[in-house]
Structure 1
Amino acid sequence: MGLFNAIMSLSGAIDTDVIEDERMARHTSYRIGGRAALFITCHSYHALRRCVDVLTRERVPWVIVGKGSNLLVSDSGYSGAVITLGREFSRTVLAEDGVTLTVGAGVILARLVNEALTKGLSGLEFAVGIPGTVGGAVSMNAGLRDAWVGSLIEDVVTYKPGEGIRHYAHDDVAWGYRECGIPGDEIILEATFRLAPGEKSDIRATMERHLARRRRTQPVGSASCGSVFRNPPGGSVGAMVEECGLKGFSVGGAEVSPVHANFIVNNGTATARDVTAVIQHVRKQVKETYGVELKPEVKFLGF
């Protein structure tokens, strides 16, 4: 059996931690999700390459996951391997120019924002409060309507299974709203950001303004995946859902947030089935009212 062979090959491997039947609710901001057959942490590039080679050889499906901040995992779990990036991918290095930071894909975005503040570097203030890892932020070009991660990136390094390391300069990548042009079959390993010198007091004040706005307009502290749907061109999903009278609409423990209608929160007992039922109802109502087909921003695993 492929899964058994994969476990035998990877258990005890250097720089590799393997857990069987791991509850994914422990690894998502939704706090929802069944068990993954394997949960693997790779602490180095060589461990990652070996892990992917073994899983591919044994025909075990796999997926890369950061902090699970934009992920809904099925109640029945995932029959493949969930891979996360560990130690070697959790480093930041400041270049001699004092403004260029090379950051591992496993670095928590909040840590990077605070590190930039500590070093007196401006540019990432808008990202304060955005959950997840740098790898996830790059892959979805995280940000606001007028500021996004991709605008600060000089270089991205990826691993293409079966081929090796690839480099992308900023202009090699098509940066779009909540997406980037890096091929989906490549694993982001690190990104290089060019920031600007700034006064720490000014940087901190800007961060505090962004954070205050998030706390005022979003259900900060609630279990959610962030924005559920992408905003359509020139439109606001939150406004459309609210105008459909769906704030507070719930199925089981999943509820359209009364604070922001583009958030579906887990009130403590929600299942993935509850969340998908709310998503389907919202999409149906918005389609009937506005003729707009909402596109989910949340990623689904195990469905």
Structure 2
Amino acid sequence: MAVVLDLLNDDPRKKDDSRPRHPEKAHKPDQPIARKPEWIRVKAPGSPGWAETNAIVKANKLVTVCEEAGCPNIGECWDKKHATFMIMGDVCTRACAFCNVKTGLPAPLDAGEPAHIGEATARLGLSHVVITSVDRDDLDDGGAGHFAAVIAAIRAMSPSTTIEILTPDFLRKPGALERVVEAKPDVFNHNLETVPSNYLTVRPGARYFHSLRLLQKVKELDPDIFTKSGIMLGLGEERNEVLQLMDDLRSAEVDFLTIGQYLQPTRKHHPVKAFVPPEQFKAYESIAYAKGFLLVASSPLTRSSHHAGEDFERLRARRRGARG
């Protein structure tokens, strides 16, 4: 019988660690974690495919956002040898209220990491790989050069693999975006995460319109790169705000929108304001397609990198169809 996880309330993958994971949030009041509805259920990881992927990740001393962010889809994705590699360490310079990644002063960059990522991509035989990172506001270029080096290493060691990146906003880092775009990833993803009225409490280190402009500029620099962005529902957003955000993304010529349910990682994180039912996600999906997105993924368990390889093939097919 398959084991079902009550996500984040009873997760056997959690490490036994008495130290506070988020010391910067220690002063924040506890936010009770609401019990999740029946539609938010996944199988516990443990298949042979998951074990093989896990072994390769550990052998190459890689960090994955799948583990760091407590992604509910890790069992499914790793069983299929799909993993999202998180570069530049596991410590972020920002403290977003929704995120389960540690905050603090990161370690220096690992010059060998691009080669390790390239080797792991080749060993896993990935047709499509997703690379993301923590925010590195401590670096002059925000880590843009490291992103470019990782892309180059993958191209050298696994030439047939298509590459998707999920980047920070490179706020106040002149020339950073241009350097990443010059490396020619196939998909450039940068998540807005939520509607602008929530930024002060949910994403205080970021700027909504800067993120929009970043996505728009990718298209200006290289129209052939697919652009992608995602948001979470359940953070207190209103329907009209979600629709306006869709319009903003289409004005920036974003191709692909992902919409998922926010799940509170700990009592020190932003509370869930609502569990949005699956039918509302489907309604948003229909509206987004009507607004002109090439591809939309919208469900409670949708995450930025879930089914990324299959979605990339659909993106290419729909672009070909649109161009005739």
TM-score normalised by structure 2 residue count: 0.30
Pick the structure with greater CA Rg: 1
Instruction: Give the alignment's TM-score, normalised by structure 1.
Output: 0.32
Whichever structure has more helix as a proportion of its residues is 2
- Larger strand proportion, structure 1 or 2? 1
